[in-house]
Structure 1
Amino acid sequence: MLAVLAVLVLLGIWQRDVLTYAFLQAKGQIGILMQVEDVDQVLADKTFPDSLKARIRLIQEIKQFGVDSLGLTPSDNYTTFYNQHGRPLIWLITASERYKIEPYQWHFPVVGTFPYKGYFDSTRAVTEEKALIDNGFDTDIGEVSAWSTLGYLKDPILSSMLLRRVGSLTNLILHELTHGTLFVKNNLELNENLASFVGDQGTIRFLKYKYGGDSEQMRQYEYSKRYNDAYSRHMLRGAGRLDSLYKTFGPDPTPSPEKDSLKLKLITDIVGDTDTLLSGKRTLTNKNRWPDGKLPNNAYFISYLTYKSKQDSFRQEFEKKFEGDLKKYLNHLKGKYPSL
């Protein structure tokens, strides 16, 4: 017993940071779950706005469509509601080396390796980001609009979800439900790319089913998707250009003004070119996306590799081998990959 106790103590010291983080995440998650309301109670509340009740009913319909038509796994997700009162809930950090387009990896027991780390406490998120910056890493930090507990807990409807447009809301719900259907350990690039692919394809199918192919909801979504796809492809090309530049620096990671100047010039060019996406039909000025003239760094480009780099390969397999049948394709992937 003493030997076992000694091992546990040593393990606790060795994994202190992981255990502390796990405790904080559990505390944050439990804090939310203790304040949720059942959806039925919210829908029966006469003081709750009818327009938001309609959004809750829409989420229920989206979820059922995902199960019936797309083959997503049934769950108790989105049967409860959490009112954020306008406050963000979780902050996500990504990081990369100064001269590499390569994600910093966080390792966790059971669930595996992640190229990002989330916090329910913004102060701790900022503290961790500062530590990464002090160690020479590029970082990016931002608020998260949803997350998935992979079916182990009942993920609630968040009040911020109800303010989204129909297409955006549908995509978000189907994206997160995909994580609860298939989640491969130590392969976040596959997981997030797949969820993005199913979210996009599933949304098109749902909007056609509910509103029709010529509906305003469909037009809004297709327009946004065209621009977002063009922006994602542009940033992926930018990541490739940065990677090529960094390879010319050689193996020495030592910072230098010359390297930083070449890096800044290329990132400035990449960001500047976003103003002309879709031949000027919609512009995105640096001022709008990059307030105070603060340009993105390597960590920003990492997110596009994580979420968007495999879209073409998914689409080709989906169209050629499965003739656009999303349910069959998802069932194929569930058989191909082991899921947590």
Structure 2
Amino acid sequence: MGWVVAALLLGLSGCASPTTGAGYYWQSVTGHLALMQAARPVDDWVADSATPEPLRQKLVTARRIRAYASAELALPDNASYHRYADLKRRAAVYNVVAAPEFSLTLQTWCFPVVGCVGYRGYYDEANAQAFAASLPGDLEVAVYPVPAYSTLGWMNWAGGDPLLNTFIGYPEGELARLVFHELAHQVLYVQDDTAFNESFATAVERLGGERWLAQAGEAVRNDYTRFNERRRAFRALTLATRQRLQALYADTTLDTDTRRARKAEVMADFRRDYEALKQGWGGYAGYDTWVRQANNASFGAQAAYDQWVPAFEALFEAQGRNFTRFYDAVRALAEQPKAERSATLQALLPTPDATLAASAH
């Protein structure tokens, strides 16, 4: 969840550095082609006696999730997620994000077709780290693994986006949410509005995930509940921290030294509160790396995924909880100029307390 491939349609080649210029586009093209070549139909994996049984069961479940996405959530019925690939690595891509010292607004990079986005993705982690190191020293930079990405349906003629080893092992409810999220990007994508695109897809994943879990067995729901309770608590903590940072950065009465000192206090509180959360998690340390590296860039990237989620959920309710009508309403919203679109979403947001609770889902 998180990277839209911009370069695939460009057909660029070159021997330049993979972090810049034509070399960057070339690594995008060759990286995705390698991923596509590694994929083969889910049915073949399931029928193959060499497929480990746990993987076979996950793929059978993923096959049911894919059918449910189109039949019950009105998501595209196409070639995507009918194949599986083992990439032999922990992430599909690695994203680089950057933000100023006193802002959560992400640096953007602009590409043909998809426009400007607040991240830059690499198939090789070393290349991502090299690009991060090349950015100006006055920016706060983060590199994070991305388990899945969308080609917006442009590659369905060639087999579509595949299921990957980077997320196939997720709890069933989370696997369903991820597939729903990525397919939502194929419903609608708006140039130069990362927050709109990711918040819409996140809303679809939550709404669809709730429906999937409602018809799943009790064991599946219990397994997902344990997973999700930790995530909800962590998201509530990070949202509260983002709000404190935003208020601090907006205070024009403070000088640089005071702002810097107070920022350090906010971050110290964040890490202390995280350690307190962990006391109830039985040793679960899945967020440790994120917390250790947390900065404006990582908080800004997280905000892009949930800024407008409560507004989209309110719009879904207004459309009678009907996915087809909801998508039509979102498409109409996407036709508005960005400023008008943002104002409409702002008006749909519930009260601050309700927004805090919703964003923790």
- Cα distance between partner residues in 1 of 2:76 and 2:216: 21
Q: Report the CA distance shift for 1:86/1:23 in structure 2 as closer, same or farther (over 3 A).
A: closer
Instruction: State which of 162, 167, 174 in structure 1 corresponds to 2:180.
Output: 174
Partner amino acid, structure 1, of 2:325: K
Instruction: State which of 92, 104, 121 in structure 2 corresponds to 1:118.
Output: 121
Matched, 1:192 2:189: no
Q: 1:162 deviation in Å?
A: 2.5
Q: Report the CA distance shift for 1:295/1:260 in structure 2 as closer, same or farther (over 3 A).
A: farther
Partner amino acid, structure 2, of 1:189: A
Matched, 1:300 2:335: no
Matched, 1:157 2:163: yes
Q: 1:331 deviation in Å?
A: 3.3
- Cα distance between partner residues in 1 of 2:281 and 2:75: 34
Q: Report the CA distance shift for 1:334/1:249 in structure 2 as closer, same or farther (over 3 A).
A: closer
Partner amino acid, structure 1, of 2:138: G
CA RMSD of superposed structures (Å) = 2.9
Per the alignment, residue 79 of structure 1 pairs with 82
Matched, 1:271 2:271: yes
Per the alignment, residue 323 of structure 2 pairs with 326
Say which is worse superposed, 35-44 or 171-180, in terms of deviation.
35-44
TM-score, normalised with respect to structure 1:
0.83
Map 1:166-315 to 2 at 5 A: 166-211=172-217, 215-248=218-251, 258-275=258-275, 282=281, 289-290=287-288, 294-315=292-313
Q: Report the CA distance shift for 1:37/1:328 in structure 2 as closer, same or farther (over 3 A).
A: same
Map 1:127-142 to 2 at 5 A: 127-132=130-135, 134-142=136-144
SS in 1 for 2:168: helix
Partner amino acid, structure 2, of 1:272: R
Q: 1:283 deviation in Å?
A: 7.8
Q: Report the CA distance shift for 1:223/1:338 in structure 2 as closer, same or farther (over 3 A).
A: farther
Larger radius of gyration: 1
- Cα distance between partner residues in 2 of 1:268 and 1:284: 21
- Cα distance between partner residues in 2 of 1:270 and 1:67: 40
Q: 1:38 deviation in Å?
A: 2.4
What is the count of residue pairs matched by the alignment?
315
2:84–2:162 Cα contact (<8 Å) kept? yes
Say which is worse superposed, 32-41 or 61-70, in terms of deviation.
32-41
- Cα distance between partner residues in 2 of 1:90 and 1:261: 35
Q: Report the CA distance shift for 1:87/1:246 in structure 2 as closer, same or farther (over 3 A).
A: closer
Per the alignment, residue 145 of structure 2 pairs with 143
Per the alignment, residue 24 of structure 2 pairs with 21
Per the alignment, residue 47 of structure 1 pairs with 50
Q: Report the CA distance shift for 1:78/1:229 in structure 2 as closer, same or farther (over 3 A).
A: same
2:92–2:166 Cα contact (<8 Å) kept? no
Partner amino acid, structure 1, of 2:212: F
- Runs of 4+ displaced beyond 6 Å: none
- Cα distance between partner residues in 2 of 1:146 and 1:36: 14
